[in-house]
Each structure stands twice: as C-alpha cells, then as structure tokens.
A and B are shown apart, each in its own frame.
Chain A
C-alpha cells in the first residue's frame, strides 16, 4: 500500500514539478518548516523534501521538487493516481513562528515552495510579510500567484530582468533592509549560495536570519548523522536539531562540500536510469 499522487503539475516542464500526495496522518501533524522522507519504489533511495503545503481536511501534503538526479527523475515518471512506496513525516522542527512584526521571506528556486508555506504561517501569526522570490527569468518563477493570494507584498528579482528587479534577490533584500527599520527576521530558503549570500547581506544590519539546510539525509530521524552541519562551532543534525538554523552561525563552506559527497554515485545512477526504458509500456 503506497501513498497516492492526487495531483501532479509540472510547474516548469522537465524541471520543477508539484505533487499533491494523499497522506492524512502526515497532513494532520504537518507545520511550516517540516519535511518528509520519501521513497519512489522498492529499490529507491530515501530522500528528504520540504512540505510545501498541507490540507488537514483533505488529508494531503504538497511537495515541489527539481529534477536533479535519479530519484527526482524517477519521481517525474510517476503519474497522477500513481503512488510513492513510502512517505514518512512530518519531520524536523517546525519553523519558529511568533508575532514579531515585519518578516522578510526570501525564496529561490524550489525553495520558494517551502518559503511560501512558512510565509503563510507568518501571515497567520499576524506578521507583516514581505516576500522576495528570484529566478533566472520570468518563466522560471514559482508560486507567484499562491504567494500573492495571501501576501500583499511580493517582490520579484530575475537575472535577466524579464520580471521585477533585474538582478539578485539579495539586492532587493538589501534595499528593504536599508529602507525599513523594523525588520524582525529574514527567512531564506533556496540554493546554498543564495542562503549564504542572504546571510552576508543581513549580517551588517544585525537582522535575525533563518535558513533551512538541505543536507543529505538517510533516515531523517536522527539515527545516522549524515546531515550533520556546523552551527556556531558545534556539530548539529539538520534532521532533528533543524532543518532551520541561525544563518549567521552556519558553516556554509562545509555544507557545500558535504552536499557533493555522493556525486560520483549519483552520476552513475543517473546514467543508468537514462538508459532504461521509461515508456511504461506505451
């Protein structure tokens, strides 16, 4: 018995996909910032993915993923009404959300999906949320409509200037920090270089900055220590101590190195997968 895919939507064809999965027991408990571990099939690897949204009444969770390796490529072969062999969660500590004033939520790439769930939580807590989302170009922006539906201030940055500010999210962020003097917190979720850059921008302002670390995980419940990261000089586990940490204290260089650990094997897996037939009998 698996976990049924109720809806599948390719947000950016061949690249980024959103899925709504039937998982009532997880939806019941899921909070912004939580993640799930999932496995496509019997031979699959366990991978962590942030819960982008959940619907407690319908008993569903939403995930958004970027096709980067074998597992996400295999996920992309799954169709609506197909199923995942395993989905486990909700894991990790949820985002710490309290009424604190103005919160700037920065999202990049598929991180926008996770950021949107957290931004929603901050809006519900009564905070003024300024969302900043970035992509290479206009057609690669995610969750624009969803964010705008509950968040009155959505700023956009694109590398090519096809929408919003031409440049990086960090430039928009710097601008906000210079003009607004009461930003209580900056939340950044996205590729590691982006989160690192956000932390560099906020540091001189002394603004509290939270990042969500996408470390390699195996069990996701603290058993293996694969996701260990150095925060404030201490070794912590992203799966049970995080995934969110004070960005100013994270050793990003170490995180980047550790994320490449299995590159060789991942390439081998992917090469094999691309040679297999995936026509599903058609």
Chain B
C-alpha cells in the first residue's frame, strides 16, 4: 500500500476543443470529445473506490464505478448499459451537467488531485456507442418482462424531466405519451441550449432512443390549453407527469426595458436555437443583431446568450453582473470558454436604466457601480451600491438573463394544483406527487430554474413512484 501513497497521480486528460478564435465564428460544438485512447487513459485514473462517493453525487445515481470499470476492460456496451440503466440522456448529461459540483465534485481523487473526468467519459461512452450502427440502442428491450400495454402515462412538456420519466417507464413496458407545446420535442435542450454546447443531432439521437422504446411525442399540444390535466385523466391515463419547465422570463423593472433591442435571454436563445436564426434567411426566424451587446446576468443562460451573440456577429459582447466573478452562478468551464472567445466580464455593476435613440432603439445602458457587502440569504456577498457612481455602457442590444418565474399557462388551467409560496408546484419531496392524486411534477416548474440533471433526478424519483404504483 505504501507505494499507492507515493504513486504519482497522472494529470486529468484534457478535453480537445475547437480553437477559440475559430469557434467564435461558428455554431459547431466547442468541446470535441475524447478519442478512444484519451478515454482509456482517463478511465484508468479511476481508483475504483469501495464506497463510490461519485455515485452519491449524481442526481440520477449512475453506477459510475462500474461503467468506468467496463471502459477500462474495453467493454463499451457494458459501460453504456450501466449508464443507461439510470440515465436516459447520457450524451446530453456528458455535455451539460455541472459535474464539478456533482459526480466529479465528490470524486475521492479530487481531494488531493484533479478528479476523474467522469462527464467526459460519459459523453465518450454515449457518443461512441451510438456511432456503432450495429448496436441496438436498448439491448434489454426484448427481455423486459413487464410489457404492459394496458398502462399509460402522460408527460406534459418534453424537457429533461419528462424525458427521464418517459425513459424509465417505457423501459418497464409502460406506454408513455409526451405532450409538447412547441413544434419540436426536447424542451430546453432544443430551445435553450445552443448548438455549440449541445448539438441538436445529439438530442435527436436521445429522442430516437426513447421512440424505439415506444414513447410517442405529440408536438403543438399546450398543457392547460390544448389539453388539460383533467382531460388526460378522463382519457384513461394512469398517471400524469408535469414537466413544463420554468416559464416566464424575469425582467429588471428599470426604465427603458421595453426599448427595441432589449431582449430576454429566452427570446434570443429561442429565436436562434429553435428558430435556427443563425441560418436566417434560409430559416425564416430573424434575430436582432448589433455591434455591441451587453448581457445582464452571469448564469449558464447568460453565458449561452453572450456566446451566441458573438457567433451572430457582434464585435463586442460584455457580461454585466452586479456581484464579483467569484459569485457568478455559471459553470466555471462555461465562463472560461466565454472569456477565451473574447467575451468581456464587467462585474460589480447593475443596470439602472436603458436609453434609446429617437426611434426607440437601445443605444446605452446606465449602470450603478457596486461593491461587495455582507453575505445575504443566498450565502453570497450582497452587492451594495456605491452612491453616485454610475457609468454608461454603449450598446445596441441587451439580453436580460436574470432568471424566470412560474409560467401561468398550465397552473391557471389547473386550479386544484397546490402551489408553494413562490408560485411553483408543491410536490411531495419523496415521490414528486402533487396535491392531485396520481399527478406528479418535477424540474423547473417545482424548483424554479435549475439544471438539466436536477430535473432528471426529479423525473427519476417520480417515475420510480409511478412504476411502483402501477406495476
């Protein structure tokens, strides 16, 4: 054992990336993925701990130790199946999960060295497995003993939480119909996360995997409008899962916010991602363009919006954030990628007002300079105004990415649904069940804007409970 202590731990295998200067001008994926050799080298760094803390750190509890062991043995199918047992969207999670605070954040190796690059390995397994055309997407389908065509479940919304519910239940032989309001399924994976971070082809592949399990996607069906929860129960669905996402964008409520050129991140990203405005005019949906762009907020959505604006041709893009860089809620990796691409970070300033020209178009933002004060209820240092210190940031476009509030469409149509004090759906934390029996909810409509994987965790909890009751 003595030499284990002294053994030099190899450095984490770096991820190959597109060159920052090149990628700032295209929408192709930034991170290129490991080669087989790189994946094996990285997999061998895993200590195969007796108590795999990484697995506890994963909201969907992937048997990480096992999948890495398979990988070391060059058993790709075994690795894929190990992941797929608890995660219906491995190619997505391998790309967009905040691994640093989850699996990798709990990796023992990470205590003294760099943690195993679990996310990158997950992505490698999912991508490589899918690329092998000879492989069936789901190998245990025929062996499934629980084929029950008398049972059906409806999911409202087709984002990560619903897709998880669908994958879990369909894998156990239950019929799942997913109702999506937009014209393409995938929820935030399609309208929110840009192509350069999560290619649509990857989402399409995961959706196809679910279709092969018998999941049906019905687009242009708005929960609460085209169909209500009561309609679904009346139509004989044994359970309903609500995964409608976060909803309405928040604005700052400062003067000039409705000027032409001021957008919510949701609008901007939806136009570019879902409407494919980056291919305008081949695709009809336009996106506004400006030479100088300011993005207000510093979460992952803000980073996505800023990097998108850069790719849409802006010459200068700044992130405007009222706290300091240490408090930024975005993933470190995303901030680094943004900075590498040339995005400016302006910390400790908060917008006071937006100013327009005589045609009502944005031309500048006045910001209030801040300093950091005592920690607030969020645990982060609160921004405190430096009285009288303001600055003008000239820009032709501003994108506001300061979060969301509950979308009222389904909630208003479902008066029996109990809401919490923030207006989100109240659920049993163990089962995900709402105040309406056999109606479950999960994801952002329960927690407010969070991550893909936490929505998937909620989906998994609800799906497990639904399966327990139905089977």
Contacts and interface: CB of A to CB of B under 8 A. Distances in A.
A149 interface: no
Contacts of A59: none
A240 B270 contact: no
B366 to A, nearest CB: 19
A71 B286 CA distance: 12
A25 B227 contact: yes
Given A45-B284, A222-B247, A223-B407, A88 B181 contact: yes
Interface in B215-254: 219-222, 225-227, 245, 247-249, 251, 253
B267 interface: yes
Contact of B408 (A46, A86, A219, A222): A222
B360 interface: yes
Interface string A83-120: 00111111100000000000000000000000000000
B88 interface: no
Given A218-B267, A257-B359, A237 B260 contact: no
B226 A89 contact: yes
Nearest to B268: A224
Interface in A228-279: 228-230, 235, 237, 240, 254, 257-258, 260-262, 265-266, 268-269, 272
Nearest to A258: B260
Which range contains the number of A residues in contact with the other chain? 35 or more
Nearest to B184: A86
Contact of A70 (B270, B275, B284, B407): B284
Q: Which of A46, A71, A235, A237 has the most CB of B within 10 A?
A: A46
Given A223-B247, A228-B258, A262 B288 contact: yes
Nearest to A259: B260
A25 B226 contact: yes
Nearest to B219: A86
B409 A221 contact: yes
Nearest to A26: B226
A148 to B, nearest CB: 32
A128 B263 CA distance: 43
Nearest to A270: B281
A222 B226 CA distance: 15
A166 interface: no
Interface residues of B, number: 43
A56 to B, nearest CB: 14
A219 B182 contact: yes
A224 B272 CA distance: 12
B407 A222 contact: yes
Given A86-B219, A86-B220, A224-B264, A235 B258 contact: yes
Given A43-B283, A218-B270, A225 B226 contact: no
Interface in B253-294: 253, 257-261, 263-264, 266-267, 270-271, 275-276, 280-286, 288
Given A70-B284, A261-B288, A88 B226 contact: yes
B276 to A, nearest CB: 8
B282 A265 contact: no
Contacts, number: 122
A225 B266 contact: yes
A257 B360 CA distance: 6
Contacts of A228: 251, 258
B280 A265 contact: yes
Contact of B285 (A26, A46, A221): A46
A25 B181 contact: no
A39 interface: yes
A85 B226 contact: no
A258 B258 contact: yes
B285 A45 contact: yes
Nearest to A226: B267
Contacts of A87: 220
A44 interface: yes
Contacts of B275: 45-46, 218
Contacts of A71: 284
A45 B287 CA distance: 11
A58 interface: no
A88 B286 contact: no
Contacts of A258: 258, 260, 360
A219 B181 contact: yes
A240 B248 contact: yes
A7 interface: no
A240 B266 contact: no
Interface in B194-228: 219-222, 225-227
B183 interface: yes
Contact of A240 (B191, B261, B408): B408
Given A88-B220, A218-B285, A219-B270, 12 more contacts: A26-B226, A29-B225, A45-B284, A71-B284, A88-B181, A222-B408, A223-B191, A225-B251, A235-B251, A240-B407, A261-B261, A266-B286
20 contacts: A45-B275, A46-B275, A71-B284, A86-B220, A88-B220, A218-B267, A219-B191, A223-B245, A224-B249, A224-B264, A224-B271, A228-B251, A240-B407, A240-B409, A257-B359, A257-B360, A258-B258, A258-B260, A260-B260, A261-B261
Interface of A: 25-26, 29, 39, 43-46, 70-71, 85-91, 218-219, 221-226, 228-230, 235, 237, 240, 254, 257-258, 260-262, 265-266, 268-269, 272
Interface of B: 181-183, 191, 219-222, 225-227, 245, 247-249, 251, 253, 257-261, 263-264, 266-267, 270-271, 275-276, 280-286, 288, 359-360, 407-409
